[in-house]
Amino acid sequence: MRGEEVFTYWPDSFILTNYRLYAFDDKKDKLYMFPLYMVETFEARKNRLKIKATTGNFEVRGRVPRQDHLIQMWQARAWDVLPKENLDWLARSYSYINPRHPLSQYTYSDTSTVATQVAQETREEMQVTSAEATVGTVYVKPVIKNRCEHCNAPMSWETIDWVGPDQYACPSCNNAHRVDYERFAPT
Ligand SMILES: [Zn+2]
């Protein structure tokens, strides 16, 4: 889909774009596609991803995107620029869309060009895709507190519990914290 950009992906496991997440479940041998605008909460931990979406609750096992990458993508909300009445296109196949909207300003393709690239999820800080990088762009990354301000327990991306798209709970006392966004300079 035009404007759709790959944020991070792991060959044969998942593709996270600014509109959607495609995740392959190793255990069930099944491919899931989540339009991000339908996602209400998500919790990625190790090889498991729990998603609460408007269409139900899902749990995907296998290699999944890191929680901070998901937060960054969710925060960017690229789907907000799509016309509301066309948001359901994100969940439709090309063969459904094309006959109905042959003169659409959007271009669609079922064949993904990214599948042929060999890329890996980077451990580096992700940055906003270059096409969006115009003068005045502010780059931010999600950060969590090192210690809980209520009980002083140490917190890390691995141990916190996600209670909202950008809210997490202390593993020790369960108090909720909001993710902070820190400015950084892209390299
Ligand atoms: Zn605490």
Question: For residue 177, how far is its CA from the centre of ligand 1 (angstroms)?
Answer: 9
Q: What is the mean pLDDT of residues 122-147?
A: 57
CA of 5 to the centre of ligand 1 (A): 37
Percent of the chain exceeding pLDDT 70 equals: 66
Could you give the CA distance from residue 71 to residue 163 in angstroms, rounded to a whole number?
A: 12
Residues in the chain: 187
End-to-end C-alpha distance for the chain, whole angstroms = 28
The arithmetic mean of pLDDT across residues 149-156, rounded, is 93
Tally of CA atoms within 13 A in the half-sphere of 170 that contains its CB: 16
43: pLDDT strictly greater than 80: yes
Q: What is the pTM of this model?
A: 0.54
- Check if the beta carbon of residue 87 is closer than 8 Å to that of residue 97: no
Neighbours of 105 (CB within 10 A): 8
What rounded mean pLDDT belongs to the chain? 73
* Distance between Cα 136 and ligand 1 center (Å): 37
- Of 90-94, 110-114, 120-124, 164-168, where does the model show the most confidence? 164-168
Please choose, from the candidates 16, 5, 2, 3, the residue with its C-alpha nearest in 3D space to the C-alpha of residue 121: 16
Say which residue, 129 or 147, is predicted with more confidence.
Answer: 147
Which of the four pLDDT bands, split at 50, 70 and 90, describes residue 126?
Answer: very low
Higher pLDDT, 108 or 68: 68
Q: Residue 77: its pLDDT value, please?
A: 78
Q: Residue 174 Cα, ligand 1 centroid: separation in angstroms?
A: 6
pLDDT at 153 (0 to 100): 94
Order of strands, edge to edge, in the sheet holding 56-61? 39-45, 48-53, 56-61
- Cα separation of 177 and 78, whole Å? 25
Gap from CA of 155 to ligand 1 centroid (Å): 8
Distance in angstroms (rounded) separating the CA atoms of residues 157 and 54: 25
> Quick one: pLDDT at residue 152?
95
Tokens encoding 41: 């909460």
CA distance 170 to 153: 8
pLDDT recorded at residue 45: 87
pLDDT at res. 92: 63
* Structure token pair of residue 134: 């115009």
- Contact predicate 29/39, CB 8 Å: no
CA of 179 to the centre of ligand 1 (A): 15
Going from the Cα of 9 to the center of ligand 1, the distance in angstroms, rounded, reads 33
Does the pLDDT value for residue 187 go beyond 60? no
pLDDT for the residue 186: 59
